Chain A
Amino acid sequence: MSKEIVFSAETLAVVNKLIKRYPEGRQKSALLPVLHVAQAEFDGWLSSDVMDYVASILEIKPIEVYEVASFYSMYNLKPVGKCLLEVCQTGPCMLNGADDLVAHFEKKLNIKVGETSEDGMFTLKTVECLGSCGTAPMLQCGADYHENLDETKADALIEKLRAENKRSRYC
């Protein structure tokens, strides 16, 4: 890790605006949104250095950041591939073929759920209901929902993401 852990001036302005939404002394309330910003800024995951930095910005103890970061499923505490493919596997998606979709990705990318492809491009993850049950099966990649998927659409998505070669981000 050579990159110095400091927000850009632009990002810092966003963070300060987030903090202002809460009453005086309640800046800790901004922790969840600020962690999202930090994750997007620092390669898609939260290292302990990044978490310590967030703690210093919000003037709270590092442990207060760790305990939150480890509670919520959208924070990655380990590096992930450029594109995190989050496939929903809960009831309604399962009824409409989520199991097949996961198996298809495993085969196509030659990885198991939880693993990252050799080229560092894709991490496959299964997640619980994303509020998209009427357009199942589906997956989330960054802020985008990809719905009503079948193998053809899934393949097209992989090709598109490969061609774009960009890190997916929620924000």
Chain B
Amino acid sequence: MGRKLLLEHINVPGIETLEVYRKMGGYSAAEKAIKTMQPDDITEEVKKSGLRGRGGAGFPAGMKWSFIDKKSEKPRYLVCNADESEPGTFKDRYLMEKIPHSLIEGMLVSSFALGAKTSYIYIRGEYFYVLRILEKAIEEAYAAGLLGKNIFGTDYSLDVHVQIGAGAYICGEETALLESLEGKRGNPRMKPPFPAISGLYASPTVVNNVETIAAVPHIINITGDEYAKIGVGRSTGTKLISASGHINKPGTYEIELGLTVEEFIYSDEYCGGIKGGRKIKAMIAGGSSVPILPAHLITKTANGEDRLMTYESLSDGGFVSGTMLGSGGFVIMDETACIVRHTWTLARFYHHESCGQCSPCREGTGWMEKVLHRIEHGHGSMKDIDLLVDIAKKIEGNTICPLGDASAWPIASAIRHFREEFEYHILHPEKVKDPKHFAHEPFVSSKLENV
């Protein structure tokens, strides 16, 4: 059993209530922080912990906090990113639904550290029922004096509000999120200035993911040094992974960073192996935006080393033979899956979600969707494959926000690793007429037969 922090008390009945949460030691970190520590000491602990942002990019949280403009006369804000819309990702929902106070306590400690007096949680519109759970938890916290004026009898006061979105993946991008929170369309802003200097209402702002913020009280409880001992190298602590696709036990798991991918997929403690005992075909490790990996690169790196669930090991081999930990949205495909069809659904997703500000992203995602639709439905030509690679290349790096890259990577990597399967769709249109074409007769790559 790996060490559990975020989900340690997940099975305690009533843990969603303030009473039980406190009985299990909840809000003791907040009390310790606010009564006995200076804000900068908290940032220091977070730095020592090595905690990296859990929203996708993995930026060190303590470092991000230290960039906040303290000279500005404007109020400072902490904004929690609960937009969670990256396909394959459902960990934040699980945490907020089951242990809402862990996020509220994290907001309290983090806001105190940043000197924020008002903080917002921006949650995706579809999670209305989670909004209700959070609002109830916040109400309980106000009633108990854990939010509002003079918290723990000190002169620190904090208001926390939850803002609901309305259906737009792009609002997970931090500057689009801030625009949306200001009541506008979710169009990402040009950076710089970064939110730490000019964020919400042009004030200094830190945006962090739900899981990042919820990890902070644990760091205060056990100290940054202890937290840094969990994990491997620069991948410290524990991480929530939401696992889905063709596995026996889909769900959200807390792992110690450094677990092998093999154990995560095949042990009964986690995914419990591939459904129906079928063969594994592909893995997406960190949400739909990261490169897909073929069977032979999942549990081992290209050098034959064990692949670990860490930022470094998953990206070993760069984009040639590696991927990224991303948001922790882990999707497994077995031999019955069609990579072309799956890639097409992702292209459709990015096209639908492009905010439309930059031409390469707005137009390119549409073209990629169209070309993939054509190939998947047996109307493609060989030139289409290179066309896709070309479009992906021209989007990458040429847009305001990373959604452009995120739309290009899954497509480029699918072609890199599964080119033969794309060719098969073009050469055998009659074989792919049935939408479930590989369900009964899996596609076998000639290259992989010997692996």
Contact = CB atoms under 8 A, between A and B. Distances in A.
B166 A73 contact: yes
A11 to B, nearest CB: 16
Contact of B181 (A29, A64, A68, A130): A29
A133 B435 contact: no
Given A72-B167, A94-B345, A131 B127 contact: yes
Contacts of A144: 129
Given A95-B246, A99-B435, A73 B168 contact: yes
Contact of B342 (A26, A95, A127): A95
Contact of B182 (A28, A67, A130): A28
Interface string A106-138: 000000000000000000000111111111100
A134 B333 contact: no
Interface in A1-60: 21, 23, 26, 28-33, 35-36, 58, 60
B250 interface: yes
Nearest to B129: A143
B245 interface: yes
Given A21-B161, A129-B88, A134-B90, A72 B201 contact: no
B85 interface: yes
Best-surrounded residue of B93, B167, B181, B353 (most CB of chain A within 10 A): B167
Interface in A76-126: 89-92, 94-96, 99
Contacts of B329: 133
B245 A92 contact: yes
A134 B250 contact: yes
A74 B90 contact: no
B161 A68 contact: no
Given A74-B166, A92-B88, A128-B352, A134 B182 contact: no
B168 A71 contact: yes
A10 B346 CA distance: 43
Q: Is the interface of B mostly helix, strand, loop or mixed?
A: mixed
B165 A145 contact: no
A161 B159 CA distance: 39
Contact of B165 (A58, A72, A90): A72
Interface of A: 21, 23, 26, 28-33, 35-36, 58, 60, 64, 67-68, 71-75, 89-92, 94-96, 99, 127-136, 140, 143-145, 170-171
Interface of B: 75, 84-90, 92-93, 118, 124-129, 132, 159, 161, 163-169, 180-186, 201, 242-246, 250-252, 284, 288, 329, 331, 333, 337, 341-342, 345-346, 348-349, 352-353, 355, 435-436
30 contacts: A21-B161, A28-B182, A30-B183, A32-B164, A60-B183, A68-B183, A71-B185, A72-B168, A73-B167, A74-B125, A74-B126, A74-B167, A90-B345, A91-B342, A92-B331, A94-B341, A94-B345, A95-B246, A95-B337, A127-B167, A128-B169, A128-B352, A131-B85, A133-B87, A133-B88, A133-B242, A134-B243, A136-B244, A136-B250, A143-B128
User: Which 6 pairs show the lowest CB-CB distances between chains A and B?
Assistant: A72-B166, A73-B167, A31-B183, A134-B250, A74-B167, A28-B183
